[in-house]
Chains A and B, each alone.
Chain A
């Protein structure tokens, strides 16, 4: 079956631009997670959804970061007024239920110039 997909795979933005990153989880997966991976580091948690409810957004680094999952499937991570420090790979993961194994997408590599 299809895995987690993310688009775009690569995004280059000028500082100050807004970007939107999309995640399509595995069909039927209730839980969806966003992580940020800086170069040479392990992924760090950003936010978590159970269906359409955003239950944990404690990892979002600033109020410029916003995530939604309005119908409980596809999710969008939006970054407003991008800064150079936002350059990273943004990984999306989904799991069947809250405590199940998380399966990751290929990531979106964001470069802010």
Chain B
């Protein structure tokens, strides 16, 4: 079974500063993918960044980077130069990539990020 744990119900950050959102995971799949999604108050889940378990380098997408530590089973999201529009719920999710395995995403409970001016 796969499990995602996000231990920070809420986080606050000042505009223009960096913030790290924590995510730890548990899985028995030898190959898996890790995702971060943003959910503003409008409700739509917006894909931010992806990390494959065999990727050699940490993923980056603009102001988003994923701090992947495989031995510690952590996949923290780092947002640099926070903007007011970054205020939202953030979900970490994972999916096994084993052939014949489940394609479903397993989500954590989320972290509510508030960016203060």
A residues near B (Cβ < 8 Å) are 31, 33, 35, 40-45, 48, 55-56, 58-59, 89, 91, 93, 98-99, 101-107, 109
On chain B, the residues within 8 Å of A93 by CB distance are 45, 105
Residues 4 to 57 of chain B near chain A (Cβ within 8 Å): 4, 33, 35, 37, 42-47, 50
Determine whether the beta carbon of A48 is less than 8 Å from that of B91. no
Q: Which 6 A-B pairs have the closest CB atoms?
A: A42-B107, A104-B45, A45-B104, A106-B44, A107-B43, A43-B107
Range of interface residues on B (Cβ < 8 Å): 20 to 34
Seen from chain B, the residues whose Cβ lies within 8 Å of a Cβ on chain A are: 4, 33, 35, 37, 42-47, 50, 91, 93, 95, 97, 102-110
Q: Which residues of B contact A41 (CB under 8 A)?
A: 109-110
Tell whether, in the assembled complex, residue B44 and residue A105 are in contact, meaning their CB atoms are under 8 Å apart.
Answer: yes
Residue of A nearest to B93 (CB): A42
The minimal Cβ–Cβ distance linking A101 to chain B, given in whole angstroms, is 6
Partner of A91, one of B4, B45, B103: B45
Contact A99 B104, beta carbon cutoff 8 Å:
no
